[in-house]
Amino acid sequence: MQRFAAELRRLRITAGEPQIKTIAARAQCSPATVSEVLNGRRLASESVIRRLVDALGGDWGRWRQLWREAKTELDALQRGVPDVRREPGTSGAVPDLGRVLAGSSRVEMVCYPDPPAFYRAAADGIRAARREIRLTYVRLHPPGQWGAAEASAYYDTVLQWARDHSAECGSVRRIIGVPEHGGVPKAASLQWLKEHQAEARDVYAYEARVMPWSAACAWHNMGVMDDSATYLSFSGAGRQQLTGFRVEGARFAGYFTDSFDQAWGALEPLDAYLARHG
């Protein structure tokens, strides 16, 4: 699959390196799909690949054979190699941190005692990312609750990274937990969602999906950068209380990317959610 993605990137260069959003518009698919295919993180269906190849001026007769070879290789890998991330109790659920840490050899953990320390480190992690960022925000209050300047700077850094990496196949995906009661979102959260939609509207490397949240408490949140650095934060009793840590290591990150990707596929895009509740 990586060889296929490399060939597709060469085709893009031959076509004059059109922007991701331009390719997506021509191929009638999302910018995130284009980014994932070009980076070798996903092998899209034959029909999607054909539209991408056509959008880049490629010869489908040749590319159909390349796609079939990549599909055969991927199917063989999926049949023959067990996925260590799908151990009992981890697939589609919140990973058990004790088991994850016990099974991850030579992990490096750094702890952060308060919001300024955590958000300062997380912003540094965002800036250091090169390809893909996965984030969650599942709290009872919108981001404007934070008094620390580092928190505000972190949220600005996320969108700025997406702007800066739009032409480089970068991808930021965020799951937003929206507090609801009886299927109705809290007014403050709904207002923030509308503001967030407006500021991210033309940031093509950024996507958000909504997870209705009916629990009367916040949840832990995560950020995974390039499948290697994992940031986890935990809310305290007060709305401005937070601690967290960072772990370096692809295996540790794999548990959380697996859980994130499964949830992502089941959730509603931000635009669709606001169309129903706006």
102 has pLDDT over 70: no
228 has pLDDT over 70: yes
176 has pLDDT over 90: yes
CATH of domain 97-277: 3.30.870.10
CA 242/CA 227 separation, integer angstroms: 24
248 has pLDDT over 90: no
Mean pLDDT, residues 255-262 taken together: 87
For the chain, what are the domain ranges? Answer: 2-80, 97-277
Q: What pLDDT, on a 0 to 100 scale, did the predictor assign at position 216? A: 79
At 73, which helix (H) or strand (E)? helix 60-80
pTM of the model: 0.65
Q: With beta carbons less than 8 A apart as the criterion, state whether 258 and 84 touch.
A: no
Q: What is the DSSP string of 194-226?
A: HHHHHHHTT-TTEEEEEEEE-SSS---EEEEET
Instruction: Tokens for 178, please give them.
Output: 């929206």
Give the fold, CATH level 3, of 2-80: 434 Repressor (Amino-terminal Domain) (1.10.260)
